[in-house]
Amino acid sequence: MSEELAFNPDRSAFDFKYAEDYAYDAGVGLNENVVKYISGVKGEDPWVLDFRLKALKIFFEKPNPTHWATKLLDSIDFSKIRYYLAKGAQRRKSWDEVPEDVKKTFERLGVPERERAFLAGIDAQFDSESAYSNMEKRLSSMGVVFVDSSVGLKKYPEIFKKYFGKVIPPSDNKYAALNSAVFSGGSFIYVPKGIKVEQPLQAYFRINAENFGQFERTLIIADEGSELMYMEGCTAPKFETGTLHSAVVELVALKGAKIQYVTVQNWSNNVFNLVTKRAVAEEDAQVRWIDCNIGSGLTMKYPAVMLKGKRAKGEVISIALANNGQHQDTGAKMIHLADDTTSNIVSKSVSVGSGRASYRGLVSISKNVKNCRNNTVCDALLINSNSRNDTYPAITCSGENNSVQHEASVSKLSEEQIFYMRSRGLSEAEATSLAVNGFVNDLVREFPMEYSVELKRLIELQMEGAVG
């Protein structure tokens, strides 16, 4: 794919919005009536509304997390957020049927070009609902399901209900409970036994409205011996007021299945990005999270893998870039619950200006399992003297013949390095970008080619004026 087709990572390219004209609006603030309104618009079964109302109660009862982010999270005023906005409840399978302003938004973001160029299927969400969804007929004929969560609930209840809320229950944390109460949009994917989806499936999430919360819910089930790659991109225009993004992602990899989940986010600085992502890997299954966190004022995201079956494998590859006024608190969780399971965590973070990046990880190997292995590597690069990086590993290793390896390093970009590269004709921004791209290059190669180009260009833009 050519560089021209990769969507432009420059934040200014995303700082646009069109006039709001919504057919469905739950109003401002959160209460039972809002939850009932959302469920009513969607025409959900009674058990779904019951699930939502129980989750709402949990949300109100649970406090905010008590670690470092408490003060930042306490600044979120839930009474001023709009929890559901939609142009219409019906998703479209043709660009000609998409509302004109929504169509213009996704055309500016390059979504149609990406679909034509290299995707097997795409779902584009605008605020609360999917605006456009399409998948190759060839995959449909093979039994692959790729729809938004609302369609999944109605059309495939026998499999959706079996796994929905089981990997991440509403009681998991305050924001998982919030999502469970007001979830809308997101993807439901089912890949039948033995089917290997060769091209990626992608979802694109766009926040257009001010004082808004986006709460997509994604559930992916890879049946025995199947394989797929799923990619998601996220943007929002910049507002003076805070915007909340609180998603829940549940992955289930059955015996011998493989799932790769790729995320590239480029939120504006006013977004609180509070996401819960977790996978279950059965016997001989593999789950790989590939994650890039750029933008947002605060990100809290720790993709997890529950290694439930023998010889299951889990991996998290992550890049985080924290610029001025940003805090990227990211990491990974690996829970070993069966013999001969292996996990790998590789995290690289870059802190620019007054930005702060934190790695928060959990590795747990139960005393009831044996022959398990984990390797964790956390590398940080500080660009300025006031940049900050923290590492908070939590490791429990017991049982028989199990091992855990943790390595962490912090380096600083020196003025001498910049001076040397500038003496070779590079500008300050070019020199800084070259150093940062070299630092993350081995992980960037893990992303699909289309995203690798995007990440390198984004780093170049982020480094402008970073040193000095």
**Residues 239/207, Cβ–Cβ less than 8 Å:** no
Give the chain's largest Cα–Cα span: 69
Locate 398 and state its tokens: 């017991």
pLDDT tens digit string along 429-448?
A: 777 777 777 787 788 777 76
Which residue's entry shows tokens 């390093």? Answer: 409
Helix (H, G, I), strand (E, B) or coil at 434: helix
Find the DSSP H helices in 21-173.
32-42, 46-61, 70-74, 100-108, 111-118, 137-141, 149-155, 157-163
| pLDDT for the residue numbered 89 | 47
| pLDDT for the residue numbered 240 | 47
> Which of 30-34, 176-180, 232-236, 260-264 comes out lowest in average pLDDT?
232-236
Which among 201, 215, 300, 176 has a CA at the least distance from the CA of 259?
201
Q: Is the pLDDT of residue 344 over 90?
A: yes
Question: Across residues 33-57, what is the average pLDDT?
Answer: 95
Compare 226 and 109 and report the one with higher pLDDT. 226
| pLDDT for the residue numbered 133 | 54
Q: Assign 135 a pLDDT band (cuts: 50, 70, 90).
A: low
| pLDDT for the residue numbered 365 | 96
Q: Assign 461 a pLDDT band (cuts: 50, 70, 90).
A: low
| pLDDT for the residue numbered 433 | 77
Secondary structure, 3-state, 191-233: ECCCCECCCCEEEEEECCCCCEEECCEEEEEECCCCEEEEEEE
Q: Is the pLDDT of residue 148 over 90?
A: no
pLDDT tens digit string along 398-424?
A: 888 999 999 999 888 777 777 878 888
Q: In sequence order, what DSSP letters do the residues of 130-170 get, joined into one string?
A: EEEEEE-HHHHHTT-EEEEHHHHHHH-HHHHHHHTTTSS-G
Compare 136 and 393 and report the one with higher pLDDT. 393
* Dihedral (Cα; 458, 464, 466, 468), 10-degree rounding: 160
CA distance 327 to 347: 15
Q: Assign 1 a pLDDT band (cuts: 50, 70, 90).
A: very low
Q: Assign 462 a pLDDT band (cuts: 50, 70, 90).
A: low
Q: Assign 134 a pLDDT band (cuts: 50, 70, 90).
A: low
* Dihedral (Cα; 189, 244, 444, 308), 10-degree rounding: -50
Q: In sequence order, what DSSP letters do the residues of 391-409 get, joined into one string?
A: EEEEEEE-SBS-EEEEEEE
Q: Assign 92 a pLDDT band (cuts: 50, 70, 90).
A: very low
Locate 8 and state its tokens: 């432009």
**Residues 239/210, Cβ–Cβ less than 8 Å:** yes
Q: Assign 170 a pLDDT band (cuts: 50, 70, 90).
A: very high
| pLDDT for the residue numbered 5 | 28
Question: Across residues 19-33, what is the average pLDDT?
Answer: 80
Element spanning 440, H or E? helix 428-444
Mean pLDDT of the chain: 81
CA distance 15 to 13: 6
Q: What percent of the chain has pLDDT over 70?
A: 76
Q: Assign 463 a pLDDT band (cuts: 50, 70, 90).
A: low
Any idea what DSSP says for residue 346?
Answer: E
Q: What percent of the chain has pLDDT over 90?
A: 46
| pLDDT for the residue numbered 342 | 98
| pLDDT for the residue numbered 46 | 94
Residues 6 or more apart whose Cβ sits within 8 Å of residue 255? 224, 225, 282, 283, 284, 285, 309
Using a 10 angstrom Cβ sphere, with 0-12 exposed, 13-18 middle and 19 or more buried, the burial of residue 426 is middle
- Angle CA(436)–CA(345)–CA(385) in degrees, nearest 5? 35
Helix (H, G, I), strand (E, B) or coil at 185: coil
Q: Is the pLDDT of residue 154 over 60?
A: yes
Any idea what DSSP says for residue 66?
Answer: -
Using a 10 angstrom Cβ sphere, with 0-12 exposed, 13-18 middle and 19 or more buried, the burial of residue 424 is exposed
Question: Across residues 291-314, what is the average pLDDT?
Answer: 93
Using a 10 angstrom Cβ sphere, with 0-12 exposed, 13-18 middle and 19 or more buried, the burial of residue 336 is buried
- Cα 336 → chain centroid: 23
Question: Across residues 382-387, what is the average pLDDT?
Answer: 85
Residues 6 or more apart whose Cβ sits within 8 Å of residue 356? 322, 326, 327, 328, 387, 388, 389, 390
| pLDDT for the residue numbered 267 | 76
| pLDDT for the residue numbered 19 | 46
